[in-house]
């Protein structure tokens, strides 16, 4: 048999209290009587009453106020307010606070039992509904937890079988996750690495250089990682908002090898082609001396000479890249970059005039001398300014500026030409790459910017482009004022 419901009677001593007590006990309710708020609190703490019947005035306080406070703590406990006199304001407040019902004299046993049972039934209905809702929510939470668990173990499987090295760092650069490939490559033990500061765990100098590089503006940073056995990795550090950073690394040994074989092939072929081409040029010059030529023959001869010059130029560019990549650019002397710019502009004056271009220069005051290779920097200037002229529409404007900032020199070349499609911008510094939007009649090999980039990097500088297709391009070159020659053999 279940325990009878307990009705808490919080009323001052009166015949009514006795009547209520008797009436409720007669139909098998348990009752508890509290004569002041302290006793009421004690009973509420010690047992779980099914209903609280409280006087409108209780222990010198407003019964309604006490009921309201208790309702906030025990929202499922039903209340009955006993009042000597029906007052519209009191009833309004009882209803407004959702506190259930009230009892008022004349009271018969039936009235008391009726009011108590109706309140209990209502409370049971609310309780049942609440239990159902809680059950439903719990079931749905359990289901979600099961799905998350399945998802988590699937992601863990993927993470562990990734062939590339992956490591996740928190905002304090402590290791959150590390995959088996990373552990194998760097000889780490996952168990002891997790939770440690990454620099306590990683000893490889290239990775440490990437991890400590202070380039907060860049959300993605790259660094090549060389291993003693000849393998090469390409490591990237990506900032993940609110989490920390992800370090990933792919093995690019085969790409490096392919690049080396290709460069070696191009170098050998270029070298072998240069001598026969020199004799072709030599003989074309001799033909004119060997006898008189008619106009058509002379025209053909000049065409041959132009084409051979073009091929020789290309070959020289290729050999140039080869020697730059091999780290043979070791010449360093103090030079004035604005002086080099003036030579370039003088040389390109013919093209500027024939395209009716306006070229404006903005040279910063008292520019410091730059420690660099003057011939190579002339190549940079010729190429970048030359491109702005070559690709500008006739009548356009070009702005070239040179400024120094701290220990750096900044060159910018801005044109209002055809621009470069966004997706192709990173590729224009690759060998032989020409963007898809240029006029195919404009001559070029796609080698100029590759040479420029190699020269800039061999001076520990940076080059980049900002461009909007159809609006123009801005090329920026930043060079350290005191550059050191790149070590031989380092690309
Ligand atoms: P190219 O011999 O083709 O000029 P570069 O290496 O100098 O070779 O440039 C590579 C490509 O970059 C060009 O073919 C062109 O598509 C693009 N490019 C370079 N400079 C500009 C510029 N100022 N405006 C528009 N496109 C440019």
pLDDT in tens, 398-414: 999 999 998 999 999 99
Give the position, in ligand 1's atom list, of the atom nearest the Cα of 436. 16
Q: Which comes out higher in pLDDT, residue 359 or 103?
A: 359
Report whether 54 contacts 81 (CB < 8 A): yes
For position 218, what pLDDT does the model report?
61
Distance in angstroms (rounded) separating the CA atoms of residues 491 and 454: 8
For the segment 435-439, the average pLDDT, to the nearest whole number, is 93
For the segment 285-292, the average pLDDT, to the nearest whole number, is 89
Is the CB of 383 inside a 6 Å radius of any atom of ligand 1? yes
For the segment 190-208, the average pLDDT, to the nearest whole number, is 93
Is the CB of 244 inside a 6 Å radius of any atom of ligand 1? no
Backbone φ, ψ for residue 226 (5° rounding): -100, 140
Residues 43-77: pLDDT tens digits? 988 888 999 999 988 888 888 888 888 888 888 88
For position 487, what pLDDT does the model report?
60
Least confident of 237-246, 327-336, 396-405, 415-424: 327-336
Give the position, in ligand 1's atom list, of the atom nearest the Cα of 384. 20
Give the pair of three-digit tokens for residue 330. 């070791």
Is the CB of 7 inside a 6 Å radius of any atom of ligand 1? no
What's the CA-to-centroid distance between 13 and ligand 1, angstroms?
101
Probe residue for ligand 1, chosen from 382, 384, 385, 391 as the CB with the greatest number of ligand atoms within 8 Å: 391
Is the CB of 412 inside a 6 Å radius of any atom of ligand 1? no
105 pLDDT more than 90: no
Nearest C-alpha to atom 7 of ligand 1 is from which residue? 448
pTM listed for this prediction? 0.56
User: What residue has token string 């502009």?
Assistant: 345
Angle between helices 63-73 and 37-46 (to 10 degrees): 20
For position 453, what pLDDT does the model report?
94
What's the CA-to-centroid distance between 471 and ligand 1, angstroms?
15
For position 403, what pLDDT does the model report?
96
E strand residue ranges, 125-258: 165-170, 175-178, 220-226, 232-240, 244-251
491 pLDDT more than 50: no
For position 67, what pLDDT does the model report?
84
Nearest C-alpha to atom 12 of ligand 1 is from which residue? 428
What's the CA-to-centroid distance between 429 and ligand 1, angstroms?
9
Q: Which comes out higher in pLDDT, residue 259 or 252?
A: 252
- The per-residue DSSP string of 377-401 comes to HHHHHHHHHHHHHHHSPTT-EEEEE
What's the CA-to-centroid distance between 384 and ligand 1, angstroms?
9
Mean pLDDT of the chain: 89
Distance in angstroms (rounded) separating the CA atoms of residues 25 and 357: 108
Nearest C-alpha to atom 8 of ligand 1 is from which residue? 446
Helix ranges, 163-294 (H): 180-186, 190-193, 198-201, 205-212, 253-290
- Contacts of residue 172, Cβ cutoff 8 Å, sequence gap at least 6: 197, 244
For position 314, what pLDDT does the model report?
86
Is the CB of 428 inside a 6 Å radius of any atom of ligand 1? yes
For the segment 438-445, the average pLDDT, to the nearest whole number, is 90
Q: Measured between alpha carbons, how far is residue 303 from residues 31, 225, 279, 310 in Å?
A: 118, 49, 16, 11
Report whether 330 contacts 490 (CB < 8 A): no
Closest CA to 415 of 379, 446, 384, 455: 384
Compute, in degrees rounded to 10, the torsion defined by CA atoms 390, 393, 397, 400.
-20
Nearest C-alpha to atom 23 of ligand 1 is from which residue? 388
Nearest C-alpha to atom 19 of ligand 1 is from which residue? 387
Residues 126-173: pLDDT tens digits? 888 888 988 999 999 999 988 888 888 998 898 899 999 999 999 999
Instruction: Give strand pairing partners of 476.
Output: 412, 464
Probe residue for ligand 1, chosen from 429, 438, 452, 472 as the CB with the greatest number of ligand atoms within 8 Å: 438
Is the CB of 421 inside a 6 Å radius of any atom of ligand 1? no
């Amino acid at each position: 048999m279940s325990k009878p419901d307990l009705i808490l009677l919080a009323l001052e001593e009166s015949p009514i209290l006795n009547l209520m007590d008797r009436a409720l006990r007669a139909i098998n309710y348990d009752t508890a009587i509290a004569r002041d708020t302290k006793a009421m609190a004690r009973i509420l703490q010690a047992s779980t009453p099914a209903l609280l019947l409280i006087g409108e005035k209780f222990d010198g306080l407003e019964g309604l106020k006490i009921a309201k406070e208790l309702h906030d703590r025990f929202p499922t406990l039903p209340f009955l307010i006993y009042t000597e006199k029906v007052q519209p304001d009191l009833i309004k407040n009882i209803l407004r606070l959702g506190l259930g019902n009230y009892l008022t004299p004349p009271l018969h046993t039936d009235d008391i039992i009726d009011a108590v049972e109706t309140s209990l039934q209502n409370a049971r209905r609310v309780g049942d509904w609440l239990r159902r809702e809680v059950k439903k929510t719990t079931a749905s939470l359990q289901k979600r937890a099961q799905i998350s668990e399945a998802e988590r173990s699937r992601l863990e499987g993927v993470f562990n079988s990734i062939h590339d090295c992956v490591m996740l760092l928190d905002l304090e650069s402590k290791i959150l996750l590390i995959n088996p490939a990373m552990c194998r490559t760097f000889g780490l033990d996952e168990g002891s690495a997790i939770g440690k500061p990454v620099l306590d765990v990683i000893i490889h100098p290239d990775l440490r250089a990437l991890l400590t590089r202070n380039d907060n503006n860049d959300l993605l940073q790259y660094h090549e990682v060389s291993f003693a056995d000849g393998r090469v990795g390409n490591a990237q550090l990506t900032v993940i908002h609110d989490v920390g950073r992800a370090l990933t690394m792919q093995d690019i040994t085969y790409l490096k090898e392919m690049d080396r074989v290709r460069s070696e092939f191009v170098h050998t072929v270029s070298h072998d082609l240069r001598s026969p081409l020199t004799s072709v040029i030599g003989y074309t010059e001799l033909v004119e001396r060997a006898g008189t030529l008619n106009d058509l023959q002379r025209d053909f001869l000049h065409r041959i000479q132009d084409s051979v010059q073009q091929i020789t130029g290309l070959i020289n560019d290729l050999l140039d890249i080869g020697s730059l990549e091999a780290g043979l650019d070791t010449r360093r002397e103090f030079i004035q970059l604005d002086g080099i710019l003036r030579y370039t502009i003088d040389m390109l004056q013919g093209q500027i005039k024939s395209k009716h271009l306006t070229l404006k220069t903005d040279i910063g005051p008292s520019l410091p001398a730059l420690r660099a290779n003057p011939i190579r920097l002339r190549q940079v200037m010729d190429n970048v300014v030359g491109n702005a002229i070559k690709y500008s529409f006739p009548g356009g404007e070009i702005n070239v500026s040179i400024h120094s900032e701290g220990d750096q020199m900044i060159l910018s070349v801005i044109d209002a030409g055809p621009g470069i499609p966004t997706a192709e911008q990173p590729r224009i510094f690759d060998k032989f790459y020409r963007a898809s939007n240029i006029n195919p009649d404009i001559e070029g090999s796609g080698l100029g910017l590759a040479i420029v980039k190699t020269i800039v990097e061999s001076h520990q500088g940076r080059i980049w482009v900002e461009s909007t297709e159809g609006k123009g391009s801005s090329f920026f070159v930043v060079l350290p004022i005191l550059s050191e020659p790149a070590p031989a053999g380092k690309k």
